[in-house]
Amino acid sequence: MPETNADSAALAAESLSAPARLAVTSVVPSDRWRFARRISIGLYVVGYVWWFVANGLIIDRISVAISVGLFIAIGHLGRPLRRWAWLIFDVLCYCVMWLAYEQTRGGADRAGFPLQVEAPRNIDRFLFFGADPSVWMQRHFYEAQSIHWYDNVASATYFSHFIFPVIALAALWVISHRQWARFMKRFATLLFVACTMFVLLPTVPPWMAADPKHDYDILPHLARHTGRGFSSMGLKGFVNKWNTALDWGNAIAAMPSLHASFALFVPAFFLPLIKPKWLKALVLTFPLIMAASLVYFGEHYVIDALVGWAIVGASFLFWGWFERRQRRVRAARALATLSLGSSA
């Protein structure tokens, strides 16, 4: 490092690289619980896959919470008590977040804000030069009598929504609490904005707008066939009766699309870890496939997905800015205290 004068030499830092050095792990006793954790996680994965094949993909919130809780407990075997205390606090925050989300989502249709029926359809028509994307896709690709490969892909992508973010969240919980907190701040913001929109802008999805039972009659008939491709592969979803008893679902919570949001959120969070550009591009095709699947199934308008992606982008931008600012403020505070101490 260049030295301009004695003062700057004293201020500068240098990195030493001494020869033939010991690995820290060769001196520190190895974690005797690591083996137990790895074996237990392996058994858990086997059990999870068995359950998936035998009973179906766990998709109801309570069963998901139980399966995640079990995984995290296994991942924390042998960890210090403080980590367990954090875990309990985290789990409580997580449960409050989901409870608030479910309550808001379920209660949105009772809040009395005007129902959006034609507006999203009109926006889609504007974006696609007068065409209805769901209707167009079903006319060109959907066949009631046969299931094509793209039905399987679309259906599997649709169902990945129920496990994809949960796996990311659970893995981060076990691997790095710091990264989990970064993930959760962005995720909770997304859910908060989405829930606010569900209340303020209750929106009818395309399948409902096309269903004669609901009398909206603004789109030609659309088939709602989300599970068809999934079941044709011999797979099914697992919903325990306790979840159906809760009845918190809301069919008119279509704007924004959380399926589309989550499909972008998880890859976007891990994108900085991926080095090859081609792999980054490949990963980013996932949200596009999800959006196309949602439109194909008549579950969402294109605008629902676009708004969902915009909220994800805004959440990442906000927290990125906030964390940078927080670092600068903390460093400035420390520097100011340091100068005061030095001049005293």
Report the interface residues with other proteins, using CB under 8 A.
1, 3, 6-7, 9-18, 21-25, 27-29, 80-82, 178, 272-273, 324, 327-328, 330-338, 341-342, 344
CB–CB of 155/148 below 8 Å? no
Measuring CA to CA, how many Å separate 88 from each of 52, 94, 104, 191, 337?
A: 27, 10, 24, 21, 35
Q: Are 207 and 254 in contact (CB under 8 A)?
A: no
CB 315 within 8 A of CB 190: yes
CB of 88 vs other proteins, minimal distance in Å: 16
Measure Cα distances from 166 to 161, 212, 276 in Å: 9, 36, 25
Nearer to other proteins, 234 or 276 (CB): 276
> How is residue 103 written in tokens?
């309550």
- Cα–Cα distance for residue pair 225/278, rounded to 1 Å: 32
Of the two residues 81 and 144, which places its CB atom closer to other proteins in the complex?
81
Residue 25 or residue 146: which is nearer to other proteins going by CB? 25
- CB of 8 or CB of 285, closer to other proteins: 8
**Residue 326 identity (one-letter amino acid):** Q
Q: Rounded to whole angstroms, how far apart are CA atoms 47 and 53?
A: 10
Cβ of residue 171: shortest distance to other proteins, in angstroms?
A: 15
Q: Which residue number, 14 or 215, has a Cβ lying nearer to other proteins?
A: 14
Shortest distance in whole angstroms from residue 234 CB to other proteins: 38
Contacts of 172 (CB under 8 A, 6+ apart): 179, 180, 183
Give me the least distance between CB of 35 and other proteins, in Å please: 16
> Which residues, 6 or more positions from 229, have their beta carbon under 8 angstroms from its beta carbon?
147, 151, 152, 153, 154, 155, 156
DSSP 260-294: HHHHHHHHHHHGGG---HHHHHHHTHHHHHHHHHH
Give whichever of 146 and 342 is closer to other proteins, judged by the CB atom: 342
Nearer to other proteins, 317 or 338 (CB): 338
Pair of tokens at residue 293 = 């699947």
The least distance separating other proteins from the CB of residue 1, rounded to whole angstroms, comes to 7
Closest approach, Cβ 286 to other proteins, in A, equals 20
Q: Select 78 or 249, whichever has its Cβ closest to other proteins.
A: 78
Q: Least Å distance between CB 55 and other proteins?
A: 37
The minimum distance between CB 121 and other proteins, in angstroms, equals: 41
Looking at residue 239, its amino acid is V
